[in-house]
Amino acid sequence: MAEMQYRKLGPTDLTVSVLGYGASPLGNEFREIDAHEGERTVHMAVDLGVNFFDTSPYYGRTLSEERLGRFMGHRRKRIVLATKCGRYGLDRFDFSAERVRASIDESLRRLRTDYVDLFQMHDVEFVDREQVLHEALPVARELQRAGKCRYVGITGLPLGILRDIAERAPVDSILSYARYNLMADDLDSDLRPSCQELGIGLINASPLHLGILTERGAPSWHLASADVRRAGERVAGLCRRRGFNVSQVALKHCYDYPHTASVLVGMSQCRHLERNLQAFRLEIPPGLLEEIRETVGDAHNQLWPSGLPENQDRP
């Protein structure tokens, strides 16, 4: 099994595994899982060096937090634990000061711990950014001073609002998803420079473009256009012809990007963990990434809308 790699999360004192454990599947977010297998996977991940775990009350509508809290047990002290606040359902968002204060206490009870290492504002593009700036983040800093969280971050899909919030209020980390992988790389041009200038840790989620970069292809719920889905199929076919699994190539490509501290991958089975670890050993042959870029074509950096109209990235 590949030896785990670690990076500092920006200027914080958190050292996180390059492969991060995305805990949304523990909440049956995509399909019902075997809870016993999920527990074995959590234990195996920690034992093999995965130390960054990311969850949210939104995942499984609290089930992910509840299960992760139960599964961690004595391994909690070996885990850099991140959770979120502000999103509680498909269309349920509340970034008010009162709700943020209550949310962390609820999360701590479910996670069976007295603090989290990283407390994140979840999918900030769905609300008025002024509330995030003037209510949620100041309260999160209060909670930090109270010892309930060590650091504070924001998450979302559109890069512009993440950059704007970070430039107007101090945050320790930004989690962005589906913006750096084989289909998209605008995180590198549109967010990374600001993070480096401001001293903000960067976390990359959805290296498989929410399931597009798999042999199975895009799940039925995916919001990507038909052009993006077809491009993903072409990339998978290209990798197959070259003797590679597209998911392994996609993971290694993201692991190799030096400007993100961790790459979050959803896992609920030991075989998923083993496969994700194996990708560290993959050697991508010269020229393959260029071929993939040509194969993606016009679907490159073609994302889907998320959040309020005023919070969308402008083309």
Instruction: Summarize pLDDT for 236-246 with one digit per residue, the tens.
Output: 999 999 999 99
3-state DSSP call for residue 31? coil
Residue 255 belongs to some domain of the structure? yes
What is the tens place of the pLDDT at every residue in 7-65? 999 999 999 999 999 999 999 998 899 999 999 999 999 999 999 999 999 999 999 99
CA-based max dimension of the chain: 55
Residue 315 scores a pLDDT above 80: no
Residue 188 belongs to some domain of the structure? yes
Query: Which pair of structure tokens corresponds to residue 32?
Result: 């019902």
Phi and psi torsions of 15, nearest 5°: -110, 120
Query: Which pair of structure tokens corresponds to residue 195?
Result: 């993070």
pLDDT for 2 equals: 72
Residue 228 belongs to some domain of the structure? no
Catalytic residue positions, numbered:
59
Residue 258 belongs to some domain of the structure? yes
The residue segments making up the domain with residue 20 are 6-211+247-286
Per cent of the chain over pLDDT 90 is 97
Question: How many structural domains does the chain have?
Answer: 1
Residue 257 belongs to some domain of the structure? yes
Residue 106 belongs to some domain of the structure? yes
Phi-psi region of 36 (alpha: psi -120 to 50; beta: other; left: phi over 0): alpha
Sign of CA dihedral 222, 223, 225, 227: negative
Residue 297 belongs to some domain of the structure? no
β-sheet bridge partners, residue 84: 120
Residue 58 belongs to some domain of the structure? yes
Query: Residue 71's domain is classified under what CATH number?
Result: 3.20.20.100
pLDDT for 314 equals: 79
Angle between helices 137-145 and 97-111 (to 10 degrees): 50
